[in-house]
Structure 1
């Protein structure tokens, strides 16, 4: 990872924008979709650090390299991270390609190495993200206190939410609004019933770059990943970061049965025979070849 992605809260914050021309207009269009207060600065004023005081971020876009450098230095002197359009050497951060779904924001970047590649990836990914995704995230955020009270353990809460998101809640919210979604959420909260655990398998010699989209989605939500001898080590990189990685010796069938009873998702990247012999039902994940 050459750069570290981070999200800067903008509610109630001020963002400085200096420059002229189409580049500045493009940055203004980008920032106008945020809740931040945009402070327009003339380039002559932008060379003074006092003009940047109290800003969360700074943006500069202008054909004049010297003016850009002076504005960037002033912002930095004021302790404000600054981005200068098309001048990576003057930047504290780069601007990613953004997919905006309100409460859900997806950012893609290469650290400025290939904006065209990122733009193409953005177009491909955007078609897979439903427009109502942000509304769903905002709905769950408004009910996070209720969810945390019912499921204090984050792992139990994640299992419960996974079942809801795989069930009728998203469709209920889309079709009938919050009242319909509540009708799906609160009875499930009262019952506290965990969704059934899921057990999947991948051939242990599956190269990570040949894993199918469905398998990637399962690995992104896996709780226990069992890696057998010869398994591609890159498979572990596709799994959820806080998922448990184990060898077959550390995750015998009895332990897997226990995890499934807790509603967990388990992926076997190992010989599945011992688990089948224990009576476990395993769903093979497709591999793109």
Structure 2
């Protein structure tokens, strides 16, 4: 480690900035945000920098740099394109044991400016030691997307209650557990939703009634999307990273599961045709059991938990047991798989509506309202219909849908081994009999399937990896 990360408290401290151009302006903005008293020395000071100094009680000196300007300064930055001048500033500062930064000259720096994620009072600095500042900025951009801006408010609210927490809990461990629950649970979520006053009231109530030995956890019903981990929402990822227990389905991809907290207990509760690892009632009981142990539980489902995911049934059970919960939507398979197959679900020239239908009812029948499914200018997406495809196709034709209607199967959509099989209502069942595409798979019926050949984009990516999709034309 070439540099030790430190945070300077610059409020009301005197800092010298050598240079008066745009680079100096960027550094001056950071210094002023930190509350420093900034003195600028330069032959010319740009208007924006002058305005910034005027707004923040800074000083601009037009003239020549000299070592006496370092007197009473605790920090100095050289931001000029004059190399001999930058070297003079460096040596003068080192001689006086004053930390110095020379912009874009790591060898002349005794400290460096990190890329900053500002969630004041929480501040994160990322540094490459001056070797790759662009990489540091890219990492900062990634963290910016992962860390809600409301973390600053959360930290401020927590600071307000610090003394009360110390008085309430006698041991460090009990205080740690309390703060973990506050900073990662439903109180934090209130702050992220902009409900600061409600969050503060909840902390006060928690302090008044908290029993550190008996705490109720929380359940997060999270949509894991169609399989590609990059399609997860930021909120889903954040909750997955803080869960103590994860109950996951068969449709959750290994890549998504791998993003859960490393030391979380992973419990498989998936359902496959004629093989339910844990029946739905058992899943409900597990959610209640772990929450009552004070644990944070993620119920991780493929796609969206409210689209053929039995999420409503699980929430009803949690409600009956007064267990806090929240729901994080996921990208449902119909949207993601059709997109990755180049099949728009709606199109002005082909379909003005779309229906999502389960291909198999609770009683294992396909007794659907087929009169509603055969309307023209409509796209129908069947979930869980692979094993009943011959019956579904026959019924739609029987109720008036033309046998020549384009239809497609998308197997393992959005994954590297995605395969797309196209045909018609009349031919698709036989094509699938020969191709035997595996589940999970979606069936799309409608004129929009014709667009697959021209709009397919992900398939070309798969072909480039020598993974040839199955494709049959009507």
Residues 1:135 and 1:199: Cα distance change in structure 2 (over 3 Å)? closer
Give the CA deviation at 1:101: 1.4
Native 8 Å contact 2:121 2:152 kept in 1 = yes
Residue of structure 2 equivalent to 1:90: 108
Give the CA deviation at 1:143: 2.1
Residue of structure 2 equivalent to 1:35: 35
Q: How many residues align?
A: 216
Please list every run of at least 4 consecutive aligned residues from structure 1 whose deviation after the TM superposition is greater than 6 angstroms. 261-265
Q: Deviations over 1:244-267 (max 9, x none)?
A: xxxxxxxxxxxxxxxxx99799xx
Give the CA deviation at 1:148: 1.8
CA distance in 2 between counterparts of 1:57 and 1:263 reads: 48
Residue of structure 2 equivalent to 1:63: 81
Q: Deviations over 1:46-105 (max 9, x none)?
A: 431x32233332211111111011112222333320110011111001111111112111
Residue of structure 2 equivalent to 1:193: 211
Residues 1:263 and 1:113: Cα distance change in structure 2 (over 3 Å)? farther
| Correspondences of 1:93-242 after superposition (within 5 Å) | 93-173=111-191, 174-177=193-196, 179-194=197-212, 195=215, 212-215=258-261
Residues 1:215 and 1:2: Cα distance change in structure 2 (over 3 Å)? farther
CA distance in 1 between counterparts of 2:13 and 2:160 reads: 22
| SS of corresponding position for 1:120 | helix
Give the CA deviation at 1:122: 1.0
The alignment's C-alpha RMSD in Å is 3.2
Give the CA deviation at 1:183: 1.2
Residues 1:66 and 1:215: Cα distance change in structure 2 (over 3 Å)? same
| SS of corresponding position for 1:5 | coil
| SS of corresponding position for 1:175 | coil
| SS of corresponding position for 1:127 | helix
Residues 1:151 and 1:88: Cα distance change in structure 2 (over 3 Å)? same
Structure 1 gap segments, 5+ residues each: 202-209, 220-260, 266-289
Residues 1:67 and 1:142: Cα distance change in structure 2 (over 3 Å)? same
TM-score with structure 1 setting the length: 0.65
Q: Deviations over 1:137-187 (max 9, x none)?
A: 11211221112222243332121011112222223345333x322210011
Native 8 Å contact 1:46 1:74 kept in 2 = no
TM-score with structure 2 setting the length: 0.41
Residues 1:168 and 1:215: Cα distance change in structure 2 (over 3 Å)? closer
1:54 aligns to 2:72 (yes or no)? yes
Native 8 Å contact 2:157 2:200 kept in 1 = no
1:4 aligns to 2:4 (yes or no)? yes
| SS of corresponding position for 2:194 | helix
Residue of structure 2 equivalent to 1:271: none
Whose relative contact order is higher, 1 or 2, with alpha carbons under 8 Å and at least 6 apart?
Answer: 1
Q: Deviations over 1:32-58 (max 9, x none)?
A: 32222222234866431x322333322
Residues 1:98 and 1:175: Cα distance change in structure 2 (over 3 Å)? closer
